[in-house]
Chain A
Amino acid sequence: MKLDTIALVETPEGIDLQAELAGLVPRTLAYCIDFFIRMMIMMVLGIIFMFFGKAGTGLWLILIFVMEWWYPVLFEVFKGGQTPGKKSFNIKVINDDLTPVSFGASLIRNLLRTADVLPLFYVFGIISMSSTKHFQRLGDLAAGTLVVYSEPEQHDSSAIKNVAAIAPQLALSEDQQVAFVNFALNKGRMSADRQAEIAEIIRPRLPLNTSNATDYVRGVGKWLLGSKH
């Protein structure tokens, strides 16, 4: 079993679901963004409430309560598991069976911030996130939630704009199809030399009249992505 950061769940129907777990660094930064947003709101409204005397102070205390305890819960439940900070890092909270986070779980994981924040600066949370297999802080462990990356919306297909799609004459396994597609999309901007080098590896598998292995593999990749011309 190779090291990876994937949470795997098998459904009763025997289907494997997976999600890519998010760890300490992006989560800390997402928290900082949320923290900053909350502070700004409390500061601005605090200044406004100052003009309302004692009633203003009361309102401000209620605001602090809402911001502290309900801000993350409401966003997580109603905005697909994403607070604004999490959204900016493209991460979201889900239940550990990979279903959308439920109200109860979200409430528990956020109430238990009181445990993670101990003794200071979320240090228990930091230790827990760094040492558990699924990067869970104590609140996540109690609520049975995970923080994962959202699926990317759209792949960048600029690399195959001028490539002719080729229907493969070979039986390709799932892994091989992924490899062909990744080759075609060329996310890492491989050099032409490197592309040729990799494509030549499977030259004996390719049709005999293939002149340019790179173009063939890219073409098949494009075909696998659904383009038929």
Chain B
Amino acid sequence: MQLSKLIIEPRVRNAWAAIDLGFTLARQFWLRGVILYLIVAAPIFLLSRLLTDEAGWITYLCLWWLKPLFERPILFLLSRELFSEKMGVRRTLSHYKQWLLPSIFSVLTIRRLSTNRGMYAPVSLLEQPRSNEYYKRTKVLGYKFSNASTWATVVLYHVESFLAIALLALFAFLFPDHVDMTLSWWAEVSDNNLYWDISSILIMAVVAPFYCASGFMLYICRRIELEGWDIEICFRDWMRNYTPSAEPVSGGSNV
């Protein structure tokens, strides 16, 4: 971890600004994030569709429950790119052992329902503490930040649902001749599995990089202030061009 290679400005930020920085970061790596998400999520989605032909809700439960898994390659990519290490889609996938394995069972079970999932995901992936240390660590990190982190989860969860419904409405607005916006039409569409299947997975993929990056930036910004990264970077830069003889330092008045 070389702080001088950070691609973000290491400032002390409040939690909301950390989330905003996450959006800026997500924009930078958005396309790669979406592709990675689809590569991991689409096969699992198809498989569960084939296996549970009758009960569609199981597929969606599956899809929702496995979100932390789908987000992992994006988080892995971000964690490397943050320190200027170039990570393409293929390169990220080839490191699958590093992003798939660490604490994956806890992440998909006891840690799954936490509303701070996004902010604590980097702890599981990058720090990999044992379970009792995990709770101590997240408590320290969550101080002051867990409130905003929860709201980020809530807001982005709603954005996902809104996008699905709004897409449908947009369609109806753009083709008024072909679609008549009556209840029966809505009912027909809500029974149309293909539409919901495709739109759900695409929308999840589109939003995921923003959620991952916000959580990751909450985590990083908390560490910046907790560990004084901004100060350390400034002091190290200052020492870089230091030569003891060129600049004698003395003890104040006795010079």
Contacts and interface: CB of A to CB of B under 8 A. Distances in A.
Contacts of B224: 188
A22 B231 contact: no
Residue of A3, A131, A182, A207 with most chain B CB atoms under a 10 A cut-off: A3
Given A5-B24, A135-B20, A207-B250, A126 B162 contact: yes
Given A2-B6, A23-B20, A182 B231 contact: yes
A25 B228 contact: no
A183 B210 CA distance: 31
A183 B227 CA distance: 10
Given A5-B24, A25-B152, A176 B250 contact: no
A19 to B, nearest CB: 11
Interface size class of B (residues with CB under 8 A): 35 or more
Contacts of B159: 24, 126
Interface stretch (A47-55, A137-145, A194-202): A194-202
A97 interface: no
A2 B226 CA distance: 21
Interface in B235-255: 235-236, 238-239, 242, 244, 249-252
Q: Classify the interface of chain B: helix, strand, loop or mixed.
A: helix
A140 B26 CA distance: 21
Interface of B: 6-9, 11-12, 14, 16-17, 19-21, 23-28, 148, 151-152, 155-156, 159, 162-163, 165-167, 169-170, 173, 210, 214, 222, 224-228, 230-232, 234-236, 238-239, 242, 244, 249-252
Q: Which 8 A/B pairs are nearest by Cβ-Cβ distance?
A: A188-B225, A23-B20, A123-B166, A179-B234, A4-B9, A121-B162, A119-B170, A119-B169
14 contacts: A3-B7, A3-B28, A23-B23, A25-B16, A25-B20, A123-B163, A131-B27, A135-B20, A135-B23, A183-B231, A190-B226, A190-B227, A202-B238, A209-B251
Interface of A: 2-6, 20-26, 28-29, 89, 118-123, 126, 130-131, 135, 149, 169-170, 175-176, 178-179, 182-183, 187-190, 194-195, 198, 201-202, 204-210
